[in-house]
Amino acid sequence: MDKHKAQLNWYYQQEKKRKEAREKNDTTLINQRMQELLGNAWHKLSDEEKEDFKPVVKCIERKLVQSPLFGMRYRDNFENLDVAILQVILLSMIAPNRKQEIARWKGEISRVDFHSNVRFVQLERELSRI
Protein backbone atom coordinates (compact mmCIF):
# COMPACT_ATOMS: atom_id res chain seq x y z
CA MET A 1 0.00 0.00 0.00
CA ASP A 2 2.83 2.43 0.83
CA LYS A 3 4.44 1.79 -2.53
CA HIS A 4 1.19 2.63 -4.28
CA LYS A 5 0.79 5.79 -2.21
CA ALA A 6 4.38 6.83 -3.02
CA GLN A 7 3.75 6.28 -6.73
CA LEU A 8 0.61 8.41 -6.58
CA ASN A 9 2.46 11.10 -4.68
CA TRP A 10 5.25 11.07 -7.28
CA TYR A 11 2.68 11.25 -10.09
CA TYR A 12 0.92 14.27 -8.52
CA GLN A 13 4.24 16.04 -8.01
CA GLN A 14 5.18 15.45 -11.65
CA GLU A 15 1.77 16.68 -12.79
CA LYS A 16 2.17 19.81 -10.67
CA LYS A 17 5.61 20.47 -12.20
CA ARG A 18 4.18 20.06 -15.72
CA LYS A 19 1.33 22.44 -14.93
CA GLU A 20 3.72 25.07 -13.54
CA ALA A 21 6.00 24.74 -16.57
CA ARG A 22 3.01 25.10 -18.91
CA GLU A 23 1.83 28.22 -17.04
CA LYS A 24 5.31 29.77 -17.20
CA ASN A 25 5.54 29.02 -20.91
CA ASP A 26 2.11 30.52 -21.60
CA THR A 27 2.97 33.60 -19.54
CA THR A 28 6.26 34.00 -21.40
CA LEU A 29 4.46 33.87 -24.75
CA ILE A 30 1.91 36.46 -23.58
CA ASN A 31 4.65 38.76 -22.27
CA GLN A 32 6.62 38.49 -25.53
CA ARG A 33 3.55 39.38 -27.60
CA MET A 34 2.65 42.23 -25.25
CA GLN A 35 6.19 43.61 -25.66
CA GLU A 36 5.61 43.80 -29.42
CA LEU A 37 2.18 45.40 -29.11
CA LEU A 38 3.30 47.88 -26.46
CA GLY A 39 6.39 48.84 -28.44
CA ASN A 40 4.31 49.51 -31.55
CA ALA A 41 1.75 51.56 -29.62
CA TRP A 42 4.49 53.48 -27.75
CA HIS A 43 6.27 54.49 -30.96
CA LYS A 44 3.03 55.91 -32.34
CA LEU A 45 2.67 58.31 -29.39
CA SER A 46 3.87 61.89 -29.59
CA ASP A 47 6.58 63.09 -27.22
CA GLU A 48 4.00 64.93 -25.11
CA GLU A 49 1.87 61.80 -24.77
CA LYS A 50 4.93 59.76 -23.81
CA GLU A 51 5.69 62.28 -21.05
CA ASP A 52 2.15 61.85 -19.71
CA PHE A 53 2.65 58.08 -19.41
CA LYS A 54 6.21 58.16 -18.00
CA PRO A 55 5.09 57.97 -14.32
CA VAL A 56 3.00 54.89 -15.12
CA VAL A 57 5.91 53.29 -16.98
CA LYS A 58 8.24 54.04 -14.04
CA CYS A 59 5.79 52.39 -11.63
CA ILE A 60 5.67 49.28 -13.81
CA GLU A 61 9.46 49.22 -14.14
CA ARG A 62 9.79 49.08 -10.34
CA LYS A 63 8.15 45.66 -10.49
CA LEU A 64 10.61 44.35 -13.11
CA VAL A 65 13.91 42.64 -12.43
CA GLN A 66 16.74 44.89 -13.69
CA SER A 67 15.06 45.80 -16.97
CA PRO A 68 13.35 48.70 -18.66
CA LEU A 69 9.75 48.00 -19.69
CA PHE A 70 10.58 48.38 -23.35
CA GLY A 71 13.36 45.91 -23.96
CA MET A 72 12.56 43.59 -21.10
CA ARG A 73 15.10 40.91 -20.30
CA TYR A 74 15.47 38.15 -17.75
CA ARG A 75 13.32 35.08 -17.61
CA ASP A 76 11.89 36.16 -14.24
CA ASN A 77 10.17 39.10 -15.93
CA PHE A 78 8.77 37.06 -18.81
CA GLU A 79 7.47 34.34 -16.49
CA ASN A 80 5.76 36.86 -14.20
CA LEU A 81 2.00 37.05 -14.73
CA ASP A 82 1.81 40.44 -12.99
CA VAL A 83 4.11 41.86 -15.67
CA ALA A 84 1.74 40.58 -18.36
CA ILE A 85 -1.21 42.13 -16.53
CA LEU A 86 0.60 45.46 -16.15
CA GLN A 87 1.47 45.47 -19.84
CA VAL A 88 -2.18 44.87 -20.79
CA ILE A 89 -3.28 47.69 -18.48
CA LEU A 90 -0.68 50.06 -19.97
CA LEU A 91 -1.76 49.09 -23.50
CA SER A 92 -5.36 49.86 -22.56
CA MET A 93 -4.23 53.32 -21.38
CA ILE A 94 -2.05 54.05 -24.42
CA ALA A 95 -4.41 52.63 -27.05
CA PRO A 96 -7.96 52.67 -25.69
CA ASN A 97 -9.33 52.09 -29.21
CA ARG A 98 -7.98 48.50 -29.17
CA LYS A 99 -10.65 47.21 -26.77
CA GLN A 100 -11.24 43.88 -28.51
CA GLU A 101 -7.55 43.05 -28.61
CA ILE A 102 -7.13 44.04 -24.97
CA ALA A 103 -10.12 41.89 -23.98
CA ARG A 104 -8.60 38.96 -25.85
CA TRP A 105 -5.31 39.30 -23.96
CA LYS A 106 -7.16 39.56 -20.65
CA GLY A 107 -8.84 36.30 -21.61
CA GLU A 108 -5.50 34.70 -22.43
CA ILE A 109 -4.16 35.72 -19.03
CA SER A 110 -7.31 34.41 -17.32
CA ARG A 111 -6.78 31.11 -19.08
CA VAL A 112 -3.33 30.85 -17.48
CA ASP A 113 -4.55 31.89 -14.02
CA PHE A 114 -8.27 31.90 -13.31
CA HIS A 115 -7.85 34.33 -10.40
CA SER A 116 -5.99 36.94 -12.46
CA ASN A 117 -9.12 39.11 -12.74
CA VAL A 118 -8.73 40.06 -9.10
CA ARG A 119 -5.10 40.96 -9.77
CA PHE A 120 -6.18 43.08 -12.77
CA VAL A 121 -8.43 45.15 -10.53
CA GLN A 122 -5.73 45.57 -7.86
CA LEU A 123 -3.06 46.65 -10.35
CA GLU A 124 -5.42 48.97 -12.24
CA ARG A 125 -6.23 50.73 -8.96
CA GLU A 126 -2.54 51.00 -8.16
CA LEU A 127 -1.74 52.55 -11.53
CA SER A 128 -4.76 54.86 -11.52
CA ARG A 129 -3.45 56.57 -8.36
CA ILE A 130 -0.39 57.82 -10.24
- Residues 6 or more apart whose CB falls under 8 angstroms from that of 80 comprise 27, 31, 63
pLDDT at position 67 over 90: no
Q: Is-contact 110 116, C-beta < 8 A?
A: yes
Using CA atoms, how far apart are residues 72 and 64, in angstroms rounded to an integer? 8
- For the stretch 22-50, pLDDT in tens is 999 999 999 999 999 999 999 999 999 99
SS3 for 92? Answer: helix
Average pLDDT score, the chain: 90
Residue 1 has a pLDDT of 61
